[in-house]
Structure 1
């Protein structure tokens, strides 16, 4: 069995989709489970929304507890642009297992994310020149990958363009194209700790002898109610939803007063109930209802985690009133907050519509399916509900 610890839920789903792509039986969970019969277990640690100390403690707990599964391979999934407490979590795993060397390949070259000359590029732009510079939790202000990791000289982190044996310390590989990825992945057996993004994991599976299988999509029942939850601040998604609201309706924005009111106060609960009623009423006219955050909303008085919590609270209330066959969620923090609030912890991935866009069946609510994607990814045409 292969074990993957992911730093957020959409990252966990992305890895699960790759497992499906290679014909593996896959389980995704947000907590340690007692019995695993699948080939690939992906655990979402949701550490990106925690403090560094909390993240380290969570990873240590998951790594130690998961040894009951006796995994043949452990992979640490991180954000493709190195957001989060990447280095601290790596050190925690190294300490638990006394792992001496570590290879980090976060890039997804097929999506234009690459490392060249020690710098991170998204397409033809440096990472700090893109929308990632405005990330609410981990804004990228420097595209030197050593600095993106917040590494100190004592951390002994090196950036290498070629595998130089023996591989020692913590290594970040320069990967700009698929051939680079294949070259580095062929060295996987010489590495104590493998850390990276989705495409590095796919390349490792290929090196392990797994073969790609044909994609089969289940037909989506557009006659059934679907809730589309957008917790992302990426401009492309925000603008598409605004345009949809102007021309077709069916969008219920987070009320501005909820941001100012103390959570669980009487005023807050009244505002939340009004928002819930608005969403339920919207389902009488639309099969797909969108809840989102307005671009103009002043979020300076609320943290991203608190904002995700607000979205989660209303989703739970709506789910108790409306049978939702499908829930679409964009944004890792939003996804984790919603599943924790309901709560849902155990999933069987069923389809990979595109890299990072995964449909999963909830084992706690088998009639409800969730399709997750990172906020910075686009919805593919196969997800008919999300075409705005």
Structure 2
């Protein structure tokens, strides 16, 4: 068995999609359970948004639990642009597994996310100058991958290219410009090295293992009749797609703009929002819920409160209507909703596009859950079912 620890839920789902693509069985879980039988066990965490010490504690406990299952490898799935506690989590995993180094390949050339000479390029521009840097909540002040690893991990981080010897110790980032580079790094792992990176590196590793030679066949599908799309991403492209859908006549229910103005009115606004969503489901069967504008937000951690509010509204709606499809955009939003619904185990069934994965939910047999990272593009196959 191959084990994977993912630092957010959409990343876990993305790994599940790669497993399907290459003909492997996969299970996504939020816990490590003894007796789990599958080719690839993916543990979904939300450590990307946790404080460093809390993230390290979670990784330490999960790694110890996974070691008891005796997996062939434990892959660490991280954000492809190195957001979160990448260095801290890898150092903790190295300590628990008693490995001296980690080979970290975060680049995703198929999405024009590459590393050259230690500089991260996003769609042809240095990361800090890219559209991505302008659209994420955390300021990106450097394009150098060593800087992106953070102050605590910088001194332990090295950048190398093909043909160079790997240091005996530390966090090693490989310059990666294309698929050939990914295959090269996949061939350089060994018993002393933790393997870590994005979905593209994991895909290359599975190709190198070559246990399954026949990829899964594409299977057609039809969405259920009652669907909620949760668009929780702040990326302008996502908001533009939602607005285009609204202009095209789809039922879009935006969060009330005054939701966080006064605590006393928040319950009222949530109730009104829930009724609007239910009205849309009863009418057309499909509702897109999203955030448009927020007036005078008076909360300390707006991003966290947004996730909790959306999760509560979705939970309340699902207690009143049996959904057949729940489609979620954004890792933090997905984690908030899944925690609220108390879902724990998922079975990937279809990869609709890279990073866009449809799954069965163990705790709700009547529901399919589909999700994608916020910075990825929705495939047309999703929107045509509106």
What's the TM-score once normalised by structure 2's chain length?
A: 0.94
Q: Deviations over 1:188-216 (max 9, x none)?
A: 22552011000100111111113351432
Once the two structures are TM-superposed, the CA of residue 179 in structure 1 deviates from its matched residue by 0.6
Matched, 1:133 2:110: no
Identify the residue that residue 251 of structure 1 maps to in structure 2: 252
2:284 aligns with one of 273, 283, 286: 286
Identify the residue that residue 202 of structure 1 maps to in structure 2: 203
CA distance in 1, matches of 2:255, 2:54: 29
1:138 aligns to what SS in structure 2? Answer: coil
Once the two structures are TM-superposed, the CA of residue 45 in structure 1 deviates from its matched residue by 1.3
Once the two structures are TM-superposed, the CA of residue 218 in structure 1 deviates from its matched residue by 3.8
The 1:188–1:273 alpha-carbon spacing in structure 2 relative to 1, beyond 3 Å, is: same
Matched, 1:313 2:312: yes
CA distance in 2, matches of 1:161, 1:227: 45
Once the two structures are TM-superposed, the CA of residue 101 in structure 1 deviates from its matched residue by 1.2
Residues 332 and 373, structure 1, Cα contact 8 Å, conserved in 2: yes
CA distance in 2, matches of 1:94, 1:153: 13
Q: Deviations over 1:149-207 (max 9, x none)?
A: 11458733111112433542221000010011111111122552011000100111111
CA distance in 1, matches of 2:88, 2:337: 26
Identify the residue that residue 269 of structure 1 maps to in structure 2: 267
Once the two structures are TM-superposed, the CA of residue 131 in structure 1 deviates from its matched residue by 3.2
Identify the residue that residue 360 of structure 1 maps to in structure 2: 359
Matched, 1:79 2:79: yes
Identify the residue that residue 349 of structure 2 maps to in structure 1: 350
Matched, 1:142 2:130: no
The 1:32–1:269 alpha-carbon spacing in structure 2 relative to 1, beyond 3 Å, is: farther
CA distance in 2, matches of 1:338, 1:385: 24
The unaligned stretches of length 5 or more in structure 1 are none
Identify the residue that residue 219 of structure 1 maps to in structure 2: 221
CA distance in 1, matches of 2:296, 2:51: 24
CA distance in 2, matches of 1:105, 1:151: 19
Q: Deviations over 1:334-384 (max 9, x none)?
A: 001000001111000000111111000001001100111000001112324
Give the aligned length: 383
Identify the residue that residue 44 of structure 1 maps to in structure 2: 44
Identify the residue that residue 110 of structure 1 maps to in structure 2: 110
Once the two structures are TM-superposed, the CA of residue 135 in structure 1 deviates from its matched residue by 5.0
The unaligned stretches of length 5 or more in structure 2 are none
Matched, 1:165 2:170: no
Residues 223 and 385, structure 2, Cα contact 8 Å, conserved in 1: no
CA distance in 2, matches of 1:343, 1:255: 26
More off after superposition, 145-154 vs 320-329? 145-154
* CA RMSD between the two structures: 1.9
CA distance in 1, matches of 2:79, 2:197: 8
